[in-house]
Amino acid sequence: MQASTQSILEPRSSTWHLKNIQKKNVLLVLRTRSTSHNRGNYICRAQQEDCDLLTSVSSAIRERYGSVETKRVIESLNFLAADEEYYRDHANFGIQRASSYISGLEARPFHDTDSPDFLWMKKLEKDYEVILGELQGAVTNTDIEKQGNYIWAPAAREEAIAYGPDWRTLVLQDRCVWDVTNSSLFPRTTELVKRFKVPSVEVFFARQSPQTGIEPHSDNTNFILTSHLGLDVPEGECWMRVGNEQHFWKNGSGVIADTSFIHSTKNLSEKTDRYVLIIRFWHPGLSKTERNALTFLFDAIEDPTKEGIINANRLADERENQPKLKATSSTSQTKKKKKKKGLGMLNKGMS
């Protein structure tokens, strides 16, 4: 299949990494400061603001879900905010790196798709021709760029270094939220993912051009796994290496990887694009409460003000069908007043 090109005015990240709660770029701002006194004052203010926001978000998580149930989530948030990184060279598996890290989760480069935890993948494999059909329709649709959002968008920001200029994605779900416009262009694919109860965080199609690859890197998050369903693949010519193990994609076949291990890809074909459906999903070692708490975190960290946390609770109520807070008149204005400050956003993206 040959895909049309697109001029992207605001290219989004091809992959969402949970790795960063981006603090204020203190070093960048310091370059504009003229005196050591000003520098010292700025650092103190930034550190205090980060601390206050971290406390607000952590307290909101504990209040909603309980301290015991969210212990690992809070520990992970503190670990991330402290700029720590989990690093381990597994004797048989290879190197794992994660700055968004939850302890106690099984770590291996590839997971067995026959596991009861991944029955949904077997179901998707059986219906892969349905998904392929919608993808083929999109690739041949000359108007799809006008109909959808960021169609076949390249990797952006720091991800572009590893992913290269030819990596392209078409996103249906991002950070647990379905893109209404794009998912409506792929109604059967969206319906299958929902019907099979895939614990998805992100869903998107990925295209890799001939004679290109993704350089070795980590997605820096160990509590979200990555699955690939081969759709239109030049079999025998495309591979993915995760840790010390290598996998060749096959059409209609799924694979599940832990992309906190160092991984890379290659399309060796001379002229054929590689298309796969990528789903990033919660590690099965997480409890339901931990998944809810992490989803709440995605919302709260975007706007950790009092109003922002009220809005995060409202969204959680809608997802969990357990009303706990009544929206206030100010809540409806939250989106208009959002300010990215302090701890900032969890990056969107994916590998």
Give the tens place of pLDDT for each residue, 15-58. 334 444 343 332 222 233 334 444 444 445 546 666 778 889 99
Share of the chain above pLDDT 70, in %: 75
Helix axes 288-302, 36-65, angle to 10 degrees: 140
E strand map for 182-235: 200-208, 212-217, 224-232
- Cβ burial, residue 88 (10 Å; 0-12/13-18/19+): middle
Q: Residue 191 — pLDDT band, cuts 50, 70, 90?
A: very high
Stretch among 137-146, 154-163, 300-309 having the lowest mean pLDDT: 154-163
pLDDT (average), residues 253-272: 97
pLDDT digits (tens, 9 = 90+) for 61-83: 999 999 999 999 999 999 998 89
pLDDT reading at 226 higher than 50: yes
CA separation for the pair 54, 52 (Å, rounded): 5
Q: Residue 224 — pLDDT band, cuts 50, 70, 90?
A: very high
pLDDT reading at 284 higher than 70: yes
E strand map for 109-182: 110-111, 153-154, 168-174, 177-178
CA separation for the pair 224, 264 (Å, rounded): 17
Q: What angle do CA 104, 106, 107 make, to 5 degrees?
A: 115
Domain ranges of the chain: 110-282
pLDDT reading at 253 higher than 90: yes
pLDDT digits (tens, 9 = 90+) for 96-139: 999 999 999 999 999 999 999 999 999 999 999 999 999 999 99
Contacts of 303 (CB under 8 A, 6+ apart): 309, 311, 312, 334, 338, 339, 340
pTM, entire model? 0.81
> What local confidence, expressed as pLDDT, does residue 147 receive?
95
Q: Residue 338 — pLDDT band, cuts 50, 70, 90?
A: very low
Q: What angle do CA 11, 17, 23 make, to 5 degrees?
A: 90
Helix (H) or strand (E) holding 277: strand 274-282
pLDDT reading at 9 higher than 50: no
pLDDT reading at 271 higher than 50: yes
Q: Residue 172 — pLDDT band, cuts 50, 70, 90?
A: very high
CATH 2.60.120.330 fits 110-282, yes or no: yes
- Label the pairing between strands 274-282 and 238-242: unpaired
DSSP letter (8 states) at residue 142: T
> What local confidence, expressed as pLDDT, does residue 349 receive?
38
Tokens at residue 295, please?
């989803």
Among residues 139, 285, 275, which one has the least CA distance to residue 223? Answer: 285
